Amino acid sequence: MSEVTATGETLTAAKLMRRGRRPRFDVKHQPGFGFMAVLCVLMLYGPIVLLVTYSFNQNPSITIWTSFSFDWYVKAYHNDQIRDAAFLSLRIAFFASLVSTCVATMAAIATTRVRPYRGLTLAYTIINQPLMVPEIVTGIATLVFFALIKQMTGIYGLGYLITAHIVFCIPFAYMPIRARLEDMDLTYETAAADLYATPWQTFRRITFPMMIPGILGGAMLAFVISLDDVVITVLVSGPGEETFPLYMIGAIRRGVTPELNAVATAFLCLSALLVTVFFLVTRKKKG
């Protein structure tokens, strides 16, 4: 059957060549594509499936399955260190996503609802700088900057870590909001201006309601990025500011347990939920 199919494809390609047209390139028909696709899926999702599966294992060993149980989820919930680290990460992610989304919304309006000018590309570059520069470089630069401020003012606290997360999350919130604005039809805004609406009235009644899917998507994306950040948090966090990723790194050094699998599974479900909602609210719609 496969030989007949291959022969048919060869004949079709030959006919197209005789007619002066080249056969359309299709990567799915390239040799080894199916094998590589399956291998990539297994390598990407196989470890995640094992992690989730063994989080329900009653045996303390992470490699020997005995029976199904929710005991490790209960123990993780009653672990004060895990709860404190998780709640701290959630608070930081909430404030970082809230502020970064507000800043990103203003930046998106300022870069899409204006006439093109010479420095517009530079503005895009500055806003997206955290995406282009390696995170370790951004983290070290932020650490040095905050160290100077602490030395001059003597002020310490959680605000430095939240500020670092806000700055890093701005471009992630900016991208879906800008994409939403660029996809919106300007006819409604033009019609509102023709009807003598002020710029504020046009924004409040026309632009902002149509921007809501992009704003929600940007906020959720910034929330997930802040929740999972490790590099900047390691460099900027101070004493007593152990977020959930930092707790996980420290716990893994002492040995992986089903309790860690349970906590990781819970955060995996939260991230998957947020990404799913992000996909649903940012689906391409005609503005």
Backbone angles phi, psi at 57, to 5 degrees: -85, 130
58/250 Cα distance (integer angstroms): 23
Nearest to 217 by CA among 163, 181, 164, 168: 181
**Average pLDDT of the segment spanning 280-287:** 58
Same domain, 55 and 101: no
**Each residue of 58-87: pLDDT tens digit?**
887 777 788 888 888 888 888 888 888 888
Residue-by-residue DSSP string for 268-279: HHHHHHHHHHHH
List the domain range (segments joined by +) for residue 20: 2-72
**56 and 78 housed in the same domain:** no
Integer Cα distance of 27 and 30 in angstroms: 5
Among candidate residues 72, 87, 107, the one where a domain is terminated = 72
**Same domain (yes/no): 128, 17:** no
* Residue 287, in any domain of the structure: no
CATH number at residue 121: 1.10.3720.10
- Whether pLDDT at 16 is above 60: no
Number of structural domains, the chain?
2
Which band of pLDDT confidence, cut at 50, 70 and 90, is reported for residue 287?
very low
How is residue 238 written in tokens? 């101070």
Q: Which residues 6+ apart lie within 8 Å of 89 measured at CB? A: 227, 243, 244, 245
Tell me if residue 18 falls in helix, strand or coil.
helix
pTM of the predicted model over 0.75: yes
User: What are the pLDDT digits (tens) for 234-278?
Assistant: 888 888 888 888 888 888 887 777 888 888 888 888 878 877 877
Q: Please say whether the beta carbons of 84 and 154 come within 8 A.
A: no
Examine residue 163 and state whether it is found in any structural domain, yes or no: yes
